[in-house]
Chain A
């Protein structure tokens, strides 16, 4: 089949969504289909919010199947449209009260939210099948749009290459250093740990200098390493040698870090409000779920540092938990409505 994977483009930005879309195209090609990625720039601010949806609406989509992945790509029209939803415009929905959202309680904001909800419900409702990347995304769709989606899980980047290794003296996290990932909280948690465990926080982002400041302020310069961008080979090594992964984002959609940790046989310390991460991290089974306070995160780090056998047991359970993830099953699910 000829398949177009459709996604939004933030010019000059490359993150998890772009990688996800490219991996999906590769998976379709590997399954014997012709597949290409179509991306259009998107603007998120209220005044231009509907421009890109309208542009998608007008696009000629000459293909056998369309797989739309995020706002506003799912506005594309096609009789064989499948949506695999990464996320909607979160600034208008669950993050409407976030600092970075330009929505407030003005009449203009409220009508924009109302109309966006209506447009979203109609465009998403057209899909032959509606999937989401996680149960968190499905729950948002249900709450905000009254639509049902089936979570469809996929393997994270480097899934095949990640491997277990010795349980070292550091906790690890590889993430964009952005506000919603709460990287400072990891540092604050480490400051509360009494075991002397180190931390390696890989990644770049707007919060990089704030994280560095927090490290210095808390006197952790000798215990926290901030290597910035890390190439894949080094990333695999860092996962393999970690005691555990600490990942405490705010209401994450899916969270590759958790799945990568499990693929490397490492337990994950997370927070009760971390969203999609909690679909994978089960307290005392595949990791430790804290209340999200620095004190509890520190205590969780100490628990694993004091009992590496426990870390190994939880990590192994995590590894088994993700063992069945595959792109083959993703491709089969997305194309199931069109199978003879």
Chain B
């Protein structure tokens, strides 16, 4: 065995995740790099070579490279002109950041985000927010300003820091925010959000669907106050805003979706993998009681020490 063979053998031992064959003609497009990094939680993206274990699926960044025979393929498509190529027709998943491609391809398309959702963010509906405020003795309808350098709670001089920011976004009736990062943070918590046109355009948010847009500080404030007093409108915006973050701005989620669509979810060999994946899809936190109850339900059915 030569040096190359020995390295390959070590690679086999090291690889415990399924292999994703990477088909890259030159450099992978920059937009795909965060996705490739996120995919390493689910698989080992490797360029096919001697000694590299057989791949379970393939990801190609160039339609002209063709489709590998017998492997589910995810293909990066930069523009609609690439859709006519054979690989694009055969691909299980079409990866893109082009709205036209998305519309053309339908269910096979997967948007490739380049950012992560804020860690620990969970959607909270207006109804639960109102109960959170009641439990903590906070005012009934709170509008939080996140349109300066710091996030401020009404009638409090000091800016909020660390966990206080998450708490504020969880309890607020609505938020006025400017700037992509701040708006995405607000939307990730399912908060009814008001912003300006430039920010909404940058994050591809639609007025009246994901958030509200106003052009002056006064009108933004007024819209936010109206939303804080209208549970139905706030709930619709909050939920759609959260989905926008998940579908367009969370590369970790996109990687999980892609791995599932390509059949790469390693845990599927474990007996509870299916239910665990379902819980994840529903947004269930790691410490949710239902996870413990599910484990209890099957504990007596599995050997001690076996994987959940």
Instruction: Across the interface, name the chain A residue whose C-beta is closest to B126.
Output: A143
In-complex Cβ contact of B128 among A54, A113, A125 (8 A): A113
- The interface residues of chain B lying within 8 Å CB-to-CB of A123 are 282
- The interface residues of chain B lying within 8 Å CB-to-CB of A51 are 290, 293
Q: Does B132 make an interface contact (CB < 8 A)?
A: yes
In-complex Cβ contact of B283 among A48, A106, A107, A122 (8 A): A122
- The interface residues of chain A lying within 8 Å CB-to-CB of B135 are 105-107, 110
Cα–Cα distance between A47 and B288 once the two chains are bound (Å): 11
Contacts A54-B278, A118-B123, A118-B283 given; does A110 touch B237 at CB 8 Å: no
Task: Check if A143 sits within 8 Å of B232, measured CB to CB.
Answer: yes
Q: Does B274 make an interface contact (CB < 8 A)?
A: yes
In-complex Cβ contact of B278 among A58, A113, A148 (8 A): A58
A118 CB, min distance to chain B CBs, angstroms? 5
Q: Does B153 make an interface contact (CB < 8 A)?
A: no
In-complex Cβ contact of B125 among A58, A96, A106, A144 (8 A): A144
Q: Does A117 make an interface contact (CB < 8 A)?
A: yes
B235 CB, min distance to chain A CBs, angstroms? 3
Contacts A57-B278, A58-B275 given; does A110 touch B128 at CB 8 Å: yes
- The interface residues of chain B lying within 8 Å CB-to-CB of A125 are 239
Q: Does A44 make an interface contact (CB < 8 A)?
A: no
- The interface residues of chain A lying within 8 Å CB-to-CB of B235 are 142-146
Q: Does A84 make an interface contact (CB < 8 A)?
A: no
Task: Check if A119 sits within 8 Å of B282, measured CB to CB.
Answer: yes
Interfacial residues of chain B within 118-170, with CB under 8 A of chain A in the complex: 122-128, 131-132, 134-135
How many residue pairs at the A-B interface have CB separations less than 8 Å? 91
Instruction: Across the interface, name the chain A residue whose C-beta is closest to B232.
Output: A142
Instruction: Across the interface, name the chain B residue whose C-beta is closest to A47.
Output: B289
Question: Chain B CB within 10 Å — which of A47, A57, A115 has the most?
Answer: A115
Instruction: Across the interface, name the chain B residue whose C-beta is closest to A58.
Output: B275
Task: Check if B293 sits within 8 Å of A121, measured CB to CB.
Answer: no
Contacts A54-B278, A146-B239 given; does A110 touch B293 at CB 8 Å: no
B241 CB, min distance to chain A CBs, angstroms? 9
- The interface residues of chain A lying within 8 Å CB-to-CB of B122 are 114, 118
Task: Check if A110 sits within 8 Å of B125, measured CB to CB.
Answer: no
B contact face: mostly helix, strand, loop, or mixed: helix
Instruction: Across the interface, name the chain A residue whose C-beta is closest to B293.
Output: A51
Instruction: Across the interface, name the chain B residue whose C-beta is closest to A148.
Output: B236
Instruction: Across the interface, name the chain A residue whose C-beta is closest to B278.
Output: A57
Cα–Cα distance between A146 and B124 once the two chains are bound (Å): 11
Instruction: Across the interface, name the chain B residue whose C-beta is closest to A96.
Output: B131
A contact face: mostly helix, strand, loop, or mixed: helix
Q: Does B240 make an interface contact (CB < 8 A)?
A: yes
Cα–Cα distance between A119 and B239 once the two chains are bound (Å): 12
Q: Does B281 make an interface contact (CB < 8 A)?
A: yes
- The interface residues of chain B lying within 8 Å CB-to-CB of A105 are 131, 134-135
- The interface residues of chain B lying within 8 Å CB-to-CB of A106 are 135
Task: Check if B282 sits within 8 Å of A122, measured CB to CB.
Answer: yes
A300 CB, min distance to chain B CBs, angstroms? 32
Instruction: Across the interface, name the chain A residue whose C-beta is closest to B136.
Output: A105
Q: Does A235 make an interface contact (CB < 8 A)?
A: no
Task: Check if B281 sits within 8 Å of A114, measured CB to CB.
Answer: no
Q: Does B238 make an interface contact (CB < 8 A)?
A: yes
Task: Check if B294 sits within 8 Å of A54, measured CB to CB.
Answer: yes
Contacts A58-B278, A115-B284, A119-B283 given; does A146 touch B232 at CB 8 Å: yes
Contacts A105-B134, A143-B231, A146-B232 given; does A54 touch B283 at CB 8 Å: no
Cα–Cα distance between A125 and B283 once the two chains are bound (Å): 14
Q: Does B32 make an interface contact (CB < 8 A)?
A: no
Cα–Cα distance between A152 and B126 once the two chains are bound (Å): 26
Cα–Cα distance between A121 and B242 once the two chains are bound (Å): 11
In-complex Cβ contact of B289 among A50, A107, A114 (8 A): A50
Interface code B259-289, partner A: CB below 8 Å = 1, 0 otherwise? Answer: 0000000000000001100110111110011
- The interface residues of chain A lying within 8 Å CB-to-CB of B293 are 48, 50-51
Cα–Cα distance between A57 and B236 once the two chains are bound (Å): 24
Instruction: Across the interface, name the chain A residue whose C-beta is closest to B243.
Output: A125
Contacts A93-B127, A143-B127, A146-B239 given; does A115 touch B285 at CB 8 Å: yes
A134 CB, min distance to chain B CBs, angstroms? 16
Interface code B90-133, partner A: CB below 8 Å = 1, 0 otherwise? Answer: 00000000000000000000000000000000111111100110
Cα–Cα distance between A93 and B234 once the two chains are bound (Å): 16
Q: Does A208 make an interface contact (CB < 8 A)?
A: no
Cα–Cα distance between A145 and B242 once the two chains are bound (Å): 12
- The interface residues of chain B lying within 8 Å CB-to-CB of A143 are 126-127, 231-232, 235
Of all A-B residue pairs in the complex, the 7 with the closest CB atoms, nearest first, are A146-B235, A50-B290, A146-B239, A105-B135, A146-B236, A142-B232, A117-B125
Known: A112-B289, A117-B124. 4 other contacts (CB 8 A): A57-B278, A57-B282, A113-B131, A118-B283
> Which residues of B line the A interface, CB within 8 A?
122-128, 131-132, 134-135, 231-232, 234-240, 274-275, 278-279, 281-285, 288-290, 293-294
> Which residues of A line the B interface, CB within 8 A?
47-48, 50-51, 54, 57-58, 93, 96, 105-107, 110, 112-115, 117-119, 121-123, 125, 139, 142-148
Q: 17 A-B residue contacts at CB 8 Å?
A: A51-B290, A54-B290, A57-B278, A105-B134, A110-B135, A113-B127, A113-B131, A114-B122, A114-B123, A115-B284, A117-B128, A119-B282, A121-B125, A122-B283, A144-B231, A146-B234, A146-B238
